[in-house]
Amino acid sequence: MSRNNSIPDQFVFSKMQTDAGEHINAIRNRKELERMAGGTFWWGIGESKGQVIETLRRAKPHPEVLFSLMPSRPSAQSREPGEVFVWESFRTPQGELPLPAHVIVISGGTRTGTPKARYHALVCASPLPILENGGGTVDATQLINIGDSGRPLGSSQVTAAVRYSPKIGAVAPRPYRIAARATLEPPYFADLANPRKLSGAELRLLYDVGREGKSVEDWVAVTRQLRGL
C-alpha cells in the first residue's frame, strides 16, 4: 500500500496518547474496528473545536485530520483515571441524538467519580485502514492556529485546526510522524452528552476488544452490550 506523505495547507492536527486507562495501541485498534463496522470513527477530544472547524470547512469542505503520537509520557490521570465514562449522545440544534450504533466514545472521569463536564469528538472517515494509512512528517513549529490571531501551535495543544506555514531556519524543528490520516465527515464535530459510568465488567469487555486479532463481529457484539442495543 502506497503512503501519502504530503502535508495539506490547512488541516486538523491531533496528538494521540494513552487515555482513560487504555493503551494508545488498543485505542487505535478499537477505532479501526469502529471504522470497519460503520464507515466512520469518532475520535474523542477534551476541547471544543466546533467553531474553528467550521472556519476551516469554509476553505476545505472535508478537512483532513492528521494524527501523530504524543512524544511525552501519558499523565497519571490518563493512565489511571479512577472512573471511565461512555458518552451516549451528542447535541444538535434539534436536541440530543444517540451516537451511531457502531460508535463508542469513552473518557476518564475524576478520581471522585464525577464525569468530565464536557467532552467532544471529531467525526472521521477513511477509505483505508487507519492502522496503515499514515506517512510523512509535520514540523509543529510550522503550524499556525486557524481563527486564533495567527498564534503558532503551542506545545501543550493536543488538537487544533491549523494552517501549514513553512519557515526556513526560524527555530529548531519539532517533527511529528503522521501515524494516521482521515477526513472529517458529517456532522464533522460533536459536543457529547449523557455520560454513563462503565462497570468493571464493561471496562474489561471494552479493553479486551482493543487487543490485536479482534474482528468486526467482536466489535459489534461489544457495542450492543455497552450501548444496550
| Distance separating alpha carbons of residues 18 and 25, to the nearest angstrom | 8
pLDDT at 2 over 70: no
Residues 6+ apart with CB under 8 A from 129: 32, 35, 36
- Residue 5: inside a domain, yes or no? no
Residue found under cell 457529547 = 192
| Distance separating alpha carbons of residues 34 and 19, to the nearest angstrom | 17
- Residue 228: inside a domain, yes or no? no
- Residue 86: inside a domain, yes or no? yes
| Distance separating alpha carbons of residues 104 and 79, to the nearest angstrom | 19
- Residue 225: inside a domain, yes or no? no
Cα 31 to Cα 3, 15, 128: the distances in Å are 20, 15, 13
pLDDT value of residue 163: 93
Residue found under cell 477509505 = 127
pLDDT value of residue 145: 93
Give 1's pLDDT tier (boundaries 50, 70, 90). Answer: very low
pLDDT at 3 over 80: no
Give the other-Cβ count within 10 Å of 73's Cβ. Answer: 10
Give 186's pLDDT tier (boundaries 50, 70, 90). Answer: very high
- Residue 203: inside a domain, yes or no? yes
pLDDT at 174 over 90: no
pLDDT value of residue 23: 92
Q: Which residues of 126-144 are buried (b: 16+ CB within 10 A; e: fewer)?
A: beeebeebbbeebbbbbbb
pTM: 0.92
| Contact between 4 and 181 (Cβ < 8 Å) | yes
Give the other-Cβ count within 10 Å of 27's Cβ. Answer: 20
pLDDT value of residue 78: 74
Number of domains in the chain: 1
| Distance separating alpha carbons of residues 124 and 189, to the nearest angstrom | 9
pLDDT value of residue 148: 67
Structural domain span for residue 59: 10-216
- Residue 126: inside a domain, yes or no? yes
- Residue 39: inside a domain, yes or no? yes
pLDDT at 111 over 70: no
- Residue 229: inside a domain, yes or no? no
Residue-level length of the chain? 229
pLDDT at 103 over 50: yes
Predicted confidence (pLDDT) per residue in 68-102, tens digit? 998 878 677 777 777 899 999 999 988 999 999 99
Cα 23 to Cα 74, 95, 179: the distances in Å are 10, 33, 15
